[in-house]
Every structure is written in C-alpha cells, then in structure tokens.
Amino acid sequence: MKRFIKDAIVIGAGPAGMAAAIALKGEGVEQVLLIERDDHTGGILNQCIHDGFGLVGMGKNYTGPEYAEIYFRRLLESGAEVLSGAMVKEIQEDKDSPAGELPRKKVIVQTAEGESTYTAGAVILATGCREKPRGALAIPGSRPAGIYTAGTAQNFVNLKNLLPGSRAVILGSGDIGLIMARRLTLEGVEILAVIEKERVPGGLPRNVSQCLTDFGIPLVTGATITNIFGKSRLTGVEVCGTGEDGAVLPGTSRLYECDTLILSVGLIPENEVGQTAGIAVDESTGLPVTDDDGHSNVEGVFICGNALFVHDLVDDVSAEGEATGRAAAAWLRSGGASDLRPVAAGGIEQRKLKMANRRKSVSQDSIVCILCPNSCEIGMDLKGAMCGRGVEYVKREFLSPSRTLTTSVRVCGGERPTASVRTSDGIPKSRIAEAMQSIRSIRIKAPVEVGQVVTADFLGTGVDLLTTCNVKKSVASE
C-alpha cells in the first residue's frame, strides 16, 4: 500500500471542499490534497444548469456549472493538489505520528489503481448530502417504474438528455423540486401538481414564483401522497389532505393519473466517512456535532457545507467552506494546541434560523422579486422593495416581463450528449415556448467551453445564447 504525507486533506470537491482547499492554500498551508470520488470537481453543481448561483457571494447570477468552473480555476491557481476518481474508505488515527508532533490522521483511499494511505494533520469533510429515497417515506403501494428522486431526474434530463416520463406529480416543494417542475415543463412534460405536506412551500419564494407561478403549475399545500398505483409502470397516485398534526384527513382523497412521480422530500448530510473517525452525532438531529469553526469532537477533523447541515444557498456553502479552511489552517499553525470551543454553539443555529426565515408564504396581491434570495414581496405601490433593483424589477414585470432561459442543447462527438446553455440576459416571457422549440433543433460540436456563443442575437431578442459548461470530445470521435 502506497503512503503519502500531506499537511491537510479535504474530502469532497463540491463548492464547500473547493473553497476550503483554496482557503488552506491562501493561509500558507503547503501540502493540501483535495480528494473527489467523481472524475470532475464541482459536485452536484455540474447537473444544476439553472441560474441563481453567486447572487449573494459574487453579486452575479451564474448557473451551477459556471459557478463550479469559477472555483475550479481558483483551485488551479491556488496550487492545491486534486485527486479525482478516488473513494475515501476510512479515517483513522495515525499511530505512527512522531512523538511530540501534531497527531496526524490516516485517510484510506481507494482508486482504480488500488488502495493508498494519506496522512495529514488536519482533515476537512466536505462530503455534501444525498436525497431521501422513497423507502424513507413509507408510502403504500407497489414499486413500479417511473418513481425518481428529483436529483436523479435532474441528472437524466440535464446530463443524459433523457426524459423520465410525460405526466408527472412532484412530492415536496423544496428548491430542487420546484426547479425540476420548471425544467420538465420546458421539455414538454406535463406537471399535474406539486404536493407539499406543510402549509408553506419548502423552497425559496423566488423559486415558487419563477418555477411554478410562471408556468401555472398548481401547488397543493397541506397534503401528501397516500398511495401509489401501477405494476410495471406508475399509473397514478392518491393525494389526501393533512391536518395540522400531519394526520390524513378523511374524505380528501384525489387521484392524479400520471406515469412519473418525482420525490423532492429532503436531503441527508453524508456523514458515514466522518463516523469512521469517531465523530459524534447529535441523536436528536442525526447531524455531526461541531463548534462554530466546524471543528468536531475529533481533534483535527473539521466539517463544513452540506455535510454539516443542508444549506439553502451555494453562496453560504462556499463561505462556510472558506471559513472552515481558515480555521483548520489556524489550528495547524497552533500545533493543535488551541482548545476546542464548546460544541453545538449558537453560530450554526443562527445560520439555520436565517435559512428558515427565507421560506414564507406569499400574498397573491404582490410580486416576488427573483433577483436575489431575499425574495422581496413587493406590492403594487412598490412597498416592500429593499433596493432599487426590486423597484425596477416590478416595473418590468408590468411592462415587459422577461426571464433568463437556462436549458441544454445536443452535442455531437462529445463525452456526454448535451451541453448546458443560457441566454445572456432575459428574453420576453411570452417567447419562452418559442425559444425552447428553436433550441431543440440546435446541434453543436465538441469540444465545448464555458461562454461559447451558440447563437448571436437569439430569436432577434438582442441577447446571445451561451454555453455554460465544458464538454470534451469523446474518445471514439478523436
């Protein structure tokens, strides 16, 4: 087994992990290794082709692949080492650490070439989260084809150019469920309803507005799916209303005939690797216990991003990764002498509260500004706007509403069949369907790079259609 020595190791190359690695290098930590199980950095951002990323941290509106590319370039400039296609199996104490020196951690890594061991004084876990599957919901019924998590459906549509079905119901109104309602609608799938058990949508109001209201997709709150029908393929779902206590209300049953069910019912932080190191988990929440710097009960092991708790915004994830990277660097500089702060301190709870306050019900007599996550609810008298941009947005909504269109085009000779694209600015809302029809006929050749102009002056709107990701040539086409 090969053995390598580093100063710090970051596990997971999503937005939190990349930010943490960049921060470590910026703080003067020399040997920084970023380990990623996928073949590419970026994590889930690579399939999130919608915009809305960077609005807080960068003051600009990027798609997921564009945001990931920005951090990847920063990562290269930092000089941090990246090991992709590698799975971390276990984290252990390094019993061979020299006496009198900072105790090191041993990270066991599996790659296609075999198993290797890396040791480091500090380890940062940025392993992200995963979706709750159907099995966690206890919905009665058989197990027909046509039931997908929202992330799986997103991967199929955005990266593989595959549609999950033609008539769909979405369970859960979290942001990814709302975004997939819009994405599938753009691709011609009929979304019958988005079902939410709570009285308030789970996603940001800006996403409720631009993903459901824009397309007339019904949002049914205070309801849940109580049965699934179909044998080889899903044929329908039963939806019932629920009381304040979550119990099903008699006489509220309704059948939705559909061939697809999309589950957007929550995310679970991935903590399995951390648990091999002995990280403590709060029994009431199932989340790892850390101080405000992300330092766990295991000295030298830090946690950040969605591995710590599920965040609303990628900007918050990146900021937290950066802060954790700086904290880990400070801990290394101190030789591990600094005491751990009290665990479960208020800072993390304040962040969670801030996220919860972003979710709210919206009056039908107002317009939700979609320019930032604040989602200002602005009335006809322009009251409620927190900035001049919100005022201008409402005026445009009355006079000439427009939307930035994000979708994908077919790629010939590429390592994957599609490339994500967006319009460089908003196009008239009334022309979205026409724009999608035009885009379906577009074919571009690999290789593709972020920012290529696919079509200048798209549909005579004065804006360009741009690529937002990189696609290499396939081996077969070279």
248 belongs to a structural domain: yes
Q: 187 and 68, same structural domain?
A: no
Question: CA 61 to CA 111: how far, in whole Å?
Answer: 36
Asked if the model's pLDDT at residue 440 lies above 80, the reply is: yes
Helix, strand, coil shares of the chain as percentages rounded to 5?
Answer: 30, 30, 40
Q: State how far Cα 4 lies from the chain centre.
A: 32
> Residue 339 has what pLDDT?
54
Residue type, 156: F
Residue 225 and residue 277 share a domain: no
pLDDT for 343: 42
Residue 360 inside a domain? The answer is no
Host domain of residue 106? 2-130+268-352
Pair (37, 104) in one structural domain: yes
Let me know if residue 44 belongs to a domain: yes
**405: which 2 tokens?**
């269109």
> Does residue 275 share a domain with residue 244?
no
Which of 265, 285, 317 is the last residue in one of the domains? 265
Domain identity same for 247 and 169: yes
Per residue in 459-475, pLDDT (tens digit) is 999 999 999 999 999 97
Q: What is the CATH number of the domain that holds 326?
A: 3.50.50.60
Same domain, 91 and 201: no
Q: Are residues 93 and 16 in the same domain?
A: yes
The answer to whether residue 69 sits within a structural domain is yes
Percent of the chain with pLDDT over 90: 74
- Name the nearest CA neighbour of 423 among 469, 470, 370, 466: 466
Please indicate, yes or no, whether residues 23 and 121 belong to a single structural domain of this protein: yes
Q: Pairing mode, if any, of strands 122-125 and 8-11?
A: parallel
315 found inside a domain:
yes
Query: 238 and 146 share a domain?
Result: yes
Domain-ending residue, one of 265, 288, 307: 265
* Closest listed residue to residue 201, CA positions, set 391, 54, 65, 358: 358
Residue 68 pLDDT > 50: yes
What number is the average pLDDT over the span 377-400? 83
Task: Give CA angle at 175 (216, 225), nearest 5°.
Answer: 70
Examine residue 357 and state whether it is found in any structural domain, yes or no. no
Which residues lie below 8 Å from residue 174, measured CB to CB, with a gap of 6+? 150, 202, 203, 264, 265, 266, 267
Please check whether residue 328 lies inside any domain of the structure.
yes
Q: Which two tokens stand for residue 118?
A: 């890396």
11 shares a domain with 119: yes
Question: Which of 274, 346, 265, 283 is CA-nearest to residue 308?
Answer: 274
Domain end, chosen from 242, 265, 288, is at 265
Please tell me whether residues 203 and 126 are part of one structural domain: no
Name, in order, each residue with C-beta under 8 angstroms of 430's C-beta and a sequence gap of 6 or more: 401
Cα(235)–Cα(231) distance, integer angstroms: 8
Count of C-beta atoms within a 10 Å radius of residue 282: 11
Residues 244 and 285 in one domain: no
pLDDT of residue 172: 95
Q: Does residue 359 lie in a domain region?
A: no
What distances in angstroms separate CA 414 from CA 205, 222, 448, one per listed residue? Answer: 37, 45, 8
Domain count, the chain: 4
pLDDT, tens digit (0-9, with 9 covering 90-100), for 255-305: 999 999 999 998 989 989 999 999 998 888 888 989 888 999 999 999 999
Choose the weakest-confidence range: 88-92, 124-128, 284-288, 451-455. 284-288
Which residues face 378 on adjacent strands?
367
pLDDT tops 90 at residue 348 = no
CATH (domain of 409): 3.10.530.10
Average model confidence (pLDDT) for the chain? 90
